[in-house]
């Protein structure tokens, strides 16, 4: 749902509390970080994350960065090893994002990590961002506060020109300083540079005492290509075969339904889950990864998926479903 009135407030003493209350209700709040203005949503609330994708008009679900107030909060959502801990201690708060394994019981919504078992986490240095995260006490997913395909905003006016009427609140903290995005380093195996940004590579390598590995598209190929931004995360895919646009159900299939009228044969399905019985695309997006995962574990021959309208968030849902249905390498 779009919000017809976007409130703009100055980043004064009360702003953090107002922003936290809005986030807690599932609202969308733009706020300054030291890199660019971010568009925040409660990372533990899948409906809020679905609204965030809708507000940005993103045609695909990329995993989002979870912003937290401090290292302790980061450790509640992600597992640190010795190297990632060194980087966090050296550069947080600051423009460094770490991609780490999710912690046991990680509360970040599947939609926010695009179904991956890893989570990108950062502690921003901007006092306004920090005050909001502190007041909320939950991770905040925050991509840049612009429409998909537009440049990242460095002032509240930039945010308003893209997102007025689409989000709940803009906290104006003046122009931001860095204007480039955070450096992203994955600490899953060898520390790997996923995206250059606000913290220079040389400083990271100095702290680690080793060179960062490069993210490459296909490590086994003869001529590995660097990954393009936005293509950094390998994608979540169910192990069970996925069949799209199903109009009836075959024996031994599980059904991923959408809308009030479920297709014939569903009585015999090994399992049925409905993305949104009332046909709401925001609700469907919020349920997408959780339902796929649940059906994946049921021993079905295939997961049959009912057609999803290719409008609004349906475009991103269909993008994800097509990837899930593509033959796996």
Torsion of CA 115, 118, 124, 129, to 10 degrees: 30
Interacting partner of 113 out of ligand AMP, Mg ion, none (Cβ under 5 to 8 A depending on kind): ligand AMP
Residue with tokens 């986490």: 121
Which listed residue (143, 153, 191, 259) binds ligand AMP by CB under 6 A?
143
Binding window for ligand AMP (CB under 6 A); candidates: 58-66, 127-135, 153-161, 264-272: 58-66
Other residues' Cβ atoms within 10 Å of the Cβ of residue 231:
12
What part of residues 284-323 is at the interface with ligand AMP (CB under 6 A)?
none
Number of residues that bind ligand AMP (CB under 6 A): 19
Cβ atoms of 6 and 110 within 8 Å: the answer is no
For residue 85, give every residue at least 6 positions away whose Cβ sits within 8 Å of its Cβ, in sequence order, or none: none
CB of 197 to ligand AMP, least distance (A): 8
Among Mg ion, ligand AMP, none, the one that 213 touches (CB under a kind-dependent 5 to 8 A) is: none
Residue 124, binding choice from Mg ion, ligand AMP, none, Cβ under 5 to 8 Å by partner class: none
Q: Is the dihedral of CA 204, 120, 186, 87 positive or negative?
A: positive
Token representation of residue 243:
């069949």
Nearest to 286 by CA among 43, 46, 112: 46
Q: Of the candidates 123, 131, 134, which has an alpha carbon nearest to the alpha carbon of residue 92?
A: 123
Q: Among residue numbers 175 through 234, which ones bind ligand AMP (CB under 6 A)?
A: 181, 184, 194, 229-230, 232-233
Instruction: Name the binder of 306 from ligand AMP, Mg ion, none, CB < 5-8 A by kind.
Output: none
- Give residues 131-190 in contact with Mg ion (rule: CB under 5 A): 144
Nearest approach, Cβ of residue 141 and ligand AMP (Å): 8
Q: Give the integer Cα–Cα distance in Å for 140 and 171.
A: 15
Applying CB under 5 A, does 97 fall inside the site for Mg ion? no
User: Which positions lie near ligand AMP, rule CB under 6 A?
Assistant: 62-65, 99, 113, 116, 118-120, 143-144, 181, 184, 194, 229-230, 232-233
């Amino acid at each position: 749902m779009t919000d017809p009135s976007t409130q703009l407030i100055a980043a004064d003493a009360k702003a953090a509390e107002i922003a936290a209350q809005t986030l807690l209700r599932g609202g969308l709040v733009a706020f300054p970080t030291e890199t660019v203005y971010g568009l925040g949503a409660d990372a533990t609330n899948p409906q809020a994350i679905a609204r965030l994708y809708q507000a940005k008009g993103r045609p695909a679900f990329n995993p989002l960065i979870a912003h937290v107030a401090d290292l302790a909060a980061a450790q509640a959502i992600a597992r640190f090893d010795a190297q990632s801990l060194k980087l966090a201690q050296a550069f947080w708060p600051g423009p460094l994002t770490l991609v780490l394994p999710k912690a046991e019981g990680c509360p970040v919504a599947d939609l926010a990590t695009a179904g991956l078992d890893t989570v990108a986490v950062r502690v921003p240095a901007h006092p306004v961002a920090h005050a909001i995260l502190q007041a909320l006490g939950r991770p905040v997913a925050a991509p840049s506060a612009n429409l998909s395909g537009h440049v990242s905003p460095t002032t509240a006016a930039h945010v308003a020109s893209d997102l007025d009427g689409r989000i709940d609140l803009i906290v104006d903290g003046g122009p931001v300083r860095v204007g480039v995005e955070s450096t992203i380093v994955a600490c899953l195996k060898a520390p790997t540079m996923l995206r250059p940004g606000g913290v220079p590579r040389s400083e990271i390598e100095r702290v680690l005492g080793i060179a960062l590995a490069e993210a490459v598209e296909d490590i086994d190929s003869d001529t590995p290509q660097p990954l393009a931004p936005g293509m950094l995360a390998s994608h979540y895919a169910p192990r069970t075969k996925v069949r799209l646009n199903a109009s009836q159900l075959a024996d031994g299939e599980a059904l991923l339904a959408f809308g009030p009228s479920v297709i014939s044969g569903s009585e015999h399905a090994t399992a049925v889950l409905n993305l949104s019985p009332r046909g709401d695309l925001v609700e469907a997006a919020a349920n997408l990864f959780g339902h796929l995962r649940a059906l994946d574990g049921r021993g079905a021959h295939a997961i049959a998926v009912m057609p999803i309208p290719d409008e609004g968030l349906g475009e991103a849902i269909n993008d994800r479903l097509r990837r899930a249905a593509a033959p796996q390498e």
